[in-house]
Amino acid sequence: MDWILKENIEELKKMVLKEGWLAETLFNQALNSLKERDEKSTKIVLGRKNEINIMDMKIKEKALVILSTMMPMSKDLRIVIGSFVISSYFQMISEKSLEIAKKTLELIKEPQLKPLVTIPEMAKYALIMLRESMRMFADQNMNGAENICERDQEIDDFLEEVRSELMVYMMENSKYVKRALILLEIAQNIEEIADQATRIAETTSYIITGKQYRCFNDKLYTIDSLENTKEENS
């Protein structure tokens, strides 16, 4: 009976990683289409919406079958629950990537507002965070969790930078407003993708240790350390 459970958990992990790989691919492709202002590749990204939903549904179905028929315990149980949760994060990342593609289509109808500098830089960091969080889950190893958490703060700072850069354009000329707003929405999507990568790192840390973790400001906390911080501040 035990080997059946192990085999099913391995299968579930593979499914989650495959979903993660799809999310990463979509994010990467959406970013390239944005950089190159390429309508054709943007539409290819948008054509993959179904794939994302099917993968997420299959993972949830599989996790529920394992839970209801194989009674996993301790770490096995955490992997099953964690996979269920992480699947939603990957789905969200894919959907945000599709949002970026949709906005890119709108953006390329108009002349280029300015060469993109900060957004690709921000995206590079978000992509690194996503890859790191996937590696944590694949290897079931907590190394890298703190880096991901620190980067989350950097991404928030990048978003502020993008916001002020675009504000200058918007104030300069009202005909820039529409394009600046689209770019700002894209930057917000990238920030949200980085947030999901952080959630994946937190959930993976929970799977590994059995403890809840939260990234707060740029530090990773357990319940105890967060409570102590609260007392220090009060």
Q: Is 161 in the site for Fe ion (CB under 5 A)?
A: no
Least distance CB 184 / Fe ion (angstroms): 15
Helix H or strand E encompassing 215: strand 213-216
Question: Which residues between 164 and 203 bind Fe ion (CB under 5 A)?
Answer: 195
156 binds Fe ion (CB under 5 A): yes
Q: Does 150 bind Fe ion (CB under 5 A)?
A: no
> Which part of the chain contacts Fe ion (CB under 5 A), choosing from 73-81, 94-102, 155-163, 224-232?
155-163
Cβ–Cβ under 8 Å, residues 160 and 119:
no
How many angstroms separate the CA atoms of 232 and 116, rounded?
Answer: 42
Contact region for Fe ion (CB under 5 A) — 24-32, 38-46, 124-132, 151-159? 151-159
CB of 8 to Fe ion, least distance (A): 34
Nearest to 95 by CA among 34, 49, 51: 49
Report the Cα–Cα distance between both ends of the chain, in Å, rounded: 52
Min separation Cβ 215 and Fe ion, Å: 9
215: phi then psi, degrees, rounded to nearest 5: -85, 125
Which amino acid is present at 103? K
Applying CB under 5 A, the residues found at the interface with Fe ion are 156, 195
